[in-house]
């Protein structure tokens, strides 16, 4: 009889007095519940881990896009510098043309200077077209792209916050489970029971 009363639900050496059939039944039910909780927690942990990888991937993509916008900002600054220099060049040419026209000069030398001014004007006209094309290229879809990136950042922050909240809750639930598991070991797992009672419970008695 002693041998039949030595088993424990934890499989370790038993302590305390032998459980009654009702105590054993309750402890076996708790064991099943703990097993189900463990499976559920493991499933949640796997999902959390998978989501974390996806969140990190999106974060990296956003950072790359933000870096591209930073580069575009540098391009804008360079274009502005070109525009400033271009405006100074246009002003200088206009002043020299006005001075030439006001002088009323004629002759071969004056004609050569006129052609020189006209050549400069043609070059400036070409440069103006190139600068406008560069400006249009930089500006193309700029506002829409910025708005789309901002919306993407906002959405990512919400996803990350949701993940953080669920991860914290999972940690709490895991700690609660661990506390309950330890409590079960103390109250049930390491207590001896009668094998006949176990057989009867499994038989529905």
What percent of the chain has a predicted confidence (pLDDT) above 70? Answer: 96
Continuous H helices in 104-141: 108-139
Average confidence (pLDDT) over 13-20: 80
Residue 196: name the closest of 187, 184, 205 by CA.
Answer: 205
Average confidence (pLDDT) over 119-139: 83
Q: Does 1 have pLDDT greater than 50?
A: no
Model confidence at 47, in pLDDT bands (50, 70, 90)?
A: very high
Low-confidence winner among 94-103, 133-142, 179-188 (lowest mean pLDDT): 133-142
Q: Does 111 have pLDDT greater than 90?
A: no
Backbone φ and ψ for 108, nearest 5 degrees, come out as -60, -45
Model confidence at 159, in pLDDT bands (50, 70, 90)?
A: very high
Query: What's the pLDDT at 2?
Result: 44
Model confidence at 35, in pLDDT bands (50, 70, 90)?
A: very high
Rounded to an integer, what distance in angstroms lies between the CA atom of residue 125 and that of residue 89?
Answer: 11
Taking phi over 0 as left and psi of -120 to 50 as alpha, with beta for the rest, 66 belongs to alpha
Average confidence (pLDDT) over 110-126: 87
Rg of the chain on CA atoms, in Å: 41
Q: Does 57 have pLDDT greater than 80?
A: yes
Q: Which of the two residues, 60 and 135, has the higher pLDDT score?
A: 60
Backbone φ and ψ for 36, nearest 5 degrees, come out as -65, -40
The whole-chain average pLDDT of the chain stands at 86
Question: For residues 188 and 22, is the Cβ–Cβ distance under 8 A?
Answer: no
Rounded to an integer, what distance in angstroms lies between the CA atom of residue 159 and that of residue 157?
Answer: 5
Model confidence at 99, in pLDDT bands (50, 70, 90)?
A: confident
Please give the structure tokens belonging to residue 38: 């463990």
Strand ranges in the chain using DSSP code E only, listed in sequence order: 7-8, 192-193
Residue pointed to by tokens 């708005």 = 147
63, exposed or middle or buried, with CB in 10 Å at 0-12, 13-18, 19+? exposed
């Amino acid at each position: 009889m002693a041998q039949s009363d030595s088993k424990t639900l934890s499989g370790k050496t038993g302590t305390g007095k032998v459980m009654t059939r009702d105590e054993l039944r309750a402890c076996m039910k708790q064991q099943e519940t703990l097993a189900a909780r463990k499976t559920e927690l493991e499933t949640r942990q796997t999902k959390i881990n998978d989501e974390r990888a996806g969140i990190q991937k999106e974060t990296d993509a956003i950072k790359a896009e933000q870096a591209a916008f930073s580069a575009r900002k540098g391009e804008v600054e360079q274009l502005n510098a070109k525009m400033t220099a271009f405006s100074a060049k246009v002003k200088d040419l206009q002043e020299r043309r006005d001075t030439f026209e006001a002088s009323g000069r004629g002759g071969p030398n004056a004609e050569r200077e006129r052609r020189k001014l006209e050549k400069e004007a043609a070059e400036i006209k070409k440069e103006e077209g190139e600068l406008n094309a560069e400006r249009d290229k930089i500006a193309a879809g700029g506002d829409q792209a910025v708005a789309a990136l901002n919306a993407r950042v906002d959405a990512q922050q919400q996803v990350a916050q949701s993940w953080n909240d669920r991860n914290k809750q999972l940690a709490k639930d895991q700690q609660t489970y661990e506390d309950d598991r330890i409590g079960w070991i103390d109250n049930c797992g390491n207590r001896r029971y009668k094998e006949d009672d176990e057989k009867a419970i499994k038989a529905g008695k």
